[in-house]
Structure 1
């Protein structure tokens, strides 16, 4: 039907151009941002899933940093206890030497002097080894390992690893104190108190050998627990890394644009827009046929 008021062909062409222009705009937005989903309108369900995955990934990434920091803290404590063991072994050597009948009293006095100096360093290491400004092995109230520690190893509330070394640490303090007579070992930082008599005589030196063996064993027990915790945290890190990678891949499949596919869509939309524009021009010329009927 020829009509001056209604041009069906023009309306159809305009609708087609509008739809094509909308698709072209979406394609250009996706190619510009790199995301397939730029608003909830693009994929409501996909956006909800991707947001949950992204939140989980972020939490697990933070947990990975937590495990690395925790391992560093444990390694700091382990390094201090390694040096503590070396000192105790030297103290045991001195006690064994002083227990021998060939040693003279002046010899034992010199040995006791070194023994006391080593005791002071034991106090220094145990009471002052710290991480982030907080002591790790001391008997001070804020010491890290004096109470149970909760390591956050995941993005969920229940993903917590608890490490309790308080009993082993208290035993270690007791056993280290037993290696000294007169000259006091102190896990709270008191250095150089008293005059040492631990290896001043052959009999006392002989008694110290067993006490030092016990002290070395108690330090080893703490180190063993620390090593086990560090190993577990390392496995936690590896597992989190695997989960983060796969979760990011899943989120990417929802959110990221396929550039090859979207580029083809954009080219198709551009060609359709050009064709639609040309047809709109042609459809507008139909109204001129009405005038030819009136001539």
Structure 2
């Protein structure tokens, strides 16, 4: 093998190997310090694109789950009002039965009417209850229960003030001013209407509960899929770190040796 001065091939190769090992070492350090396999887009361009979609879908799932929780709170508030309305109607039916007692004098009947009038006013107040500025007994609503918006749950309209499907015939705005003008069947029909609304409310809460459970599972799976793309395997990467660290140290030593090898030529010309 010829001895040359201007070109040190061994040192060039050692330098290239050292640079490559040092780049890999820095990559391992960046991955371990960030906890992510994709520090730069060039690390995994395709994986980064998929990861962004998974991450966005998981966040939408969380938002949809929050919306479902708010819808459940709305329904629970609505049911609370319906429960009170049911108690008011129970008392009205009791008053109507007591009012029918032939042994009661006019003063007694007036007292019953006074309470009945107050209960009518309370029913009227209940029909106008709101949740965060939204009418509890307004139009039907639709709740998104999937991250892509493809699945929704409709919350049925419950018109508590209706004279046919609510308690409208018994409110303070009704023509029935006293117990004498109200029939027991009107009260029992109103009780049935409220019972139906509560049953519908309960069914909607049940469905939303299952929808929320599905969203929770989907969100967890999306996060797991995203983790497989982006999260670094610490055990594997730490092994690579040790490897590249040794190669950098040995490459540095070999580069120093290669730089010294060209000095052999000095001995030939001394």
Q: Give TM-score, length-normalised by structure 1.
A: 0.86
Q: Deviations over 1:8-65 (max 9, x none)?
A: 1001100110110011000000111111111221112211221111111000000010
Does residue 262 (structure 1) correspond to residue 220 (structure 2)? The answer is no
Number of aligned positions between the proteins: 269
Stretches of structure 1 that go unaligned for 5 or more consecutive residues are: 138-145, 186-193
> Which residue of structure 1 aligns with residue 223 of structure 2?
248
* Structure 1 residues 97 and 23: alpha-carbon distance in aligned structure 2, compared to 1, 3 A threshold: same
> Which residue of structure 2 aligns with residue 161 of structure 1?
153
* Structure 1 residues 174 and 103: alpha-carbon distance in aligned structure 2, compared to 1, 3 A threshold: farther
Residue 100 of structure 1 and its aligned partner are, at CA, apart by 2.2
Q: Deviations over 1:245-289 (max 9, x none)?
A: 111111111111111111111111111111000000110111111
> Which residue of structure 2 aligns with residue 136 of structure 1?
136
Residue 74 of structure 1 and its aligned partner are, at CA, apart by 0.7
Contact 1:16 1:276 in 2 (8 A): yes
Which stretches of structure 1, 4 residues or more, deviate above 3 A after TM superposition? 168-175
Residue 113 of structure 1 and its aligned partner are, at CA, apart by 0.4
Q: Distance in 1 between matches of 2:225 and 2:215?
A: 15
Residue 212 of structure 1 and its aligned partner are, at CA, apart by 0.3
> Which residue of structure 1 aligns with residue 29 of structure 2?
28
> Which residue of structure 2 aligns with residue 225 of structure 1?
200
> Which residue of structure 1 aligns with residue 121 of structure 2?
120
SS at match of 1:151: strand
Aligned-residue Cα RMSD (Å) equals 1.8
Greater shift, 268-277 or 222-231, is seen at: 222-231
* Structure 1 residues 43 and 14: alpha-carbon distance in aligned structure 2, compared to 1, 3 A threshold: same
> Which residue of structure 2 aligns with residue 184 of structure 1?
173
Q: Distance in 2 between matches of 1:3 and 1:87?
A: 108
SS at match of 2:167: helix
Q: Deviations over 1:77-121 (max 9, x none)?
A: 110010000000000000011112222222111100000001111
Q: Distance in 1 between matches of 2:185 and 2:250?
A: 97
Does residue 71 (structure 1) correspond to residue 78 (structure 2)? The answer is no
* Structure with higher RCO (Cα < 8 A, 6+ apart): 2
> Which residue of structure 2 aligns with residue 199 of structure 1?
179
Residue 224 of structure 1 and its aligned partner are, at CA, apart by 1.4
Stretches of structure 2 that go unaligned for 5 or more consecutive residues are: none
Equivalent positions of 1:12-23 (< 5 A) are: 12-23=13-24
Residue 173 of structure 1 and its aligned partner are, at CA, apart by 6.8
Residue 169 of structure 1 and its aligned partner are, at CA, apart by 4.4
Q: Give TM-score, length-normalised by structure 2.
A: 0.94
Does residue 151 (structure 1) correspond to residue 126 (structure 2)? The answer is no
> Which residue of structure 2 aligns with residue 189 of structure 1?
none
Q: Deviations over 1:154-202 (max 9, x none)?
A: 2213222222315x5464676523236xx525xxxxxxxx8x64314xx
